[in-house]
Amino acid sequence: MNAARAFRCHAWAYCAGVGALIAANWFTGGLWWSFWPLAAWSVAFAVHYLIHKAGTVDESWAEERAADLHSKSYDASHIDRIAGDHGGKTADREKK
């Protein structure tokens, strides 16, 4: 099973489990006894998500993200100056 499929399976199991725990808690009434299992599972799911996202980052993703942020920047000249100081490529230099 690849990482993307494992994460999808975990996401579906998480959603079903959370729904079942909340429904069981609601039907039994009383205090929120399901809080701690939900909290622990949420932390485990968040860690799995972060590991999954970290595994999908590569050089092309980083370049696309940097270009996207640069295009949306209100102070692009400042970013160009910093990149120029460090010998990096900028959108203005690539046009020339």
Say if residue 43's pLDDT is above 60.
yes
Q: How confident is the model at residue 22 (pLDDT cuts 50, 70, 90)?
A: very high
Closest among 55, 90, 56 to 71, alpha carbons compared: 90
| CA 19 – CA 74 distance, rounded (Å) | 43
Which tokens sit at 33?
């006894």
Residue 14 pLDDT: 95
Range with lowest mean pLDDT among 19-23, 46-50, 88-92: 88-92
| CA 33 – CA 20 distance, rounded (Å) | 13
Place of tokens 């996202």: 53
| CA 94 – CA 96 distance, rounded (Å) | 6
Residue 63 pLDDT: 87
Residue 77 pLDDT: 75
For residues 7 and 52, the answer to whether their CB atoms sit within 8 Å is yes
Residue 91 pLDDT: 52
Global pTM? 0.60
Place of tokens 């959370």: 18
pLDDT tens-digit map of 56-72? 888 888 888 888 877 77
